[in-house]
Amino acid sequence: MRVAVLVSGTGTILEAMFAAQVPIGLVVADRPCRGLDLAKSQGVAALLVDRSDFGGFTTSFDRAAYSQALADSMADRSIDLVAMAGFGTILTEAFHVAYPGRILNTHPSLLPLFKGWHAVDDALRAGVTETGCTVHVATVALDEGPILAQQSVSVVEGDTAETLQERIKQVERTLYPATIMAVLDRLHHNLPVAGEN
């Protein structure tokens, strides 16, 4: 079983995956980032499919063409499962068709609460006493896929988005690799990713 990890940033989740011995066969980034360097330091293939070649972060970004290029670049690499790890690009159907039901993501809330990019801020604004981390199957519809695992994190008095985000990340660094390994075990036994029987 081989996992491709999609990254955009510092690679702290990727580090946790390496530490948990997730069988990573490829690390792909949408921009130059530390995650690529981390992959190389671990002897894992690193691939940059740069957004800047498709319009970057402007309104002219060609999301569909980027998603297809990403799928094409990974096509011959024998990837069984894709794990997004702080990947900053929303992908279109072309990528999801290439890996149907086999793309995982982690989100900093207890889905279905607080979907989208500002989940931690939204939780603080809502005044909830707990939020958390969700690992789910990624779908074209953002934060809508089947939930695989969740763990709650208490919101404490004086929390800022930064302090709460860091506590969520601490949970995420354990929950996400463990969930990936459980999914790989299901795939190895020809069982559905999301656990339906």
Tens of pLDDT, residue by residue over 48-59, are 999 999 999 999
Cis peptide before 112 (omega within 30 of 0): yes
CA dihedral 179, 75, 61, 114 (to 10 degrees): -10
Do 55 and 141 share a domain, yes or no?
Answer: no
pLDDT at residue 194, rounded to an integer = 82
Do 119 and 77 share a domain, yes or no?
Answer: no
Do 135 and 180 share a domain, yes or no?
Answer: yes
End of a domain among 70, 100, 130?
100
Do 18 and 35 share a domain, yes or no?
Answer: yes
Do 2 and 87 share a domain, yes or no?
Answer: yes
End of a domain among 100, 123, 157?
100
Tell how many helices (H) and how many strands (E) occur in the chain.
Answer: 6, 7
* Sites in the chain below the pLDDT cut of 70: 195-197
Name which of 170, 194, 177, 190 is nearest 5 in CA terms: 177
End of a domain among 41, 72, 100?
100
CA distance 185 to 192: 10
pLDDT at residue 192, rounded to an integer = 87
State the residue range of the domain holding 95. Answer: 1-100
Asked whether residue 197 is assigned to any structural domain, the reply reads no
Active site residues: 107
pLDDT at residue 195, rounded to an integer = 58
Name which of 14, 6, 23 is nearest 95 in CA terms: 6
CA distance 119 to 128: 12
Do 78 and 144 share a domain, yes or no?
Answer: no
Do 88 and 164 share a domain, yes or no?
Answer: no
Question: What are φ and ψ of residue 63, in 5° steps?
Answer: -60, -40
> How many domains does one find in the chain?
2
Do 120 and 70 share a domain, yes or no?
Answer: no
Partnered with residue 106 across adjacent β-strands are: 135
CA distance 97 to 60: 24
Task: Report yes or no: 17 and 177 within 8 Å, Cβ to Cβ.
Answer: yes
Do 116 and 55 share a domain, yes or no?
Answer: no
Do 30 and 91 share a domain, yes or no?
Answer: yes
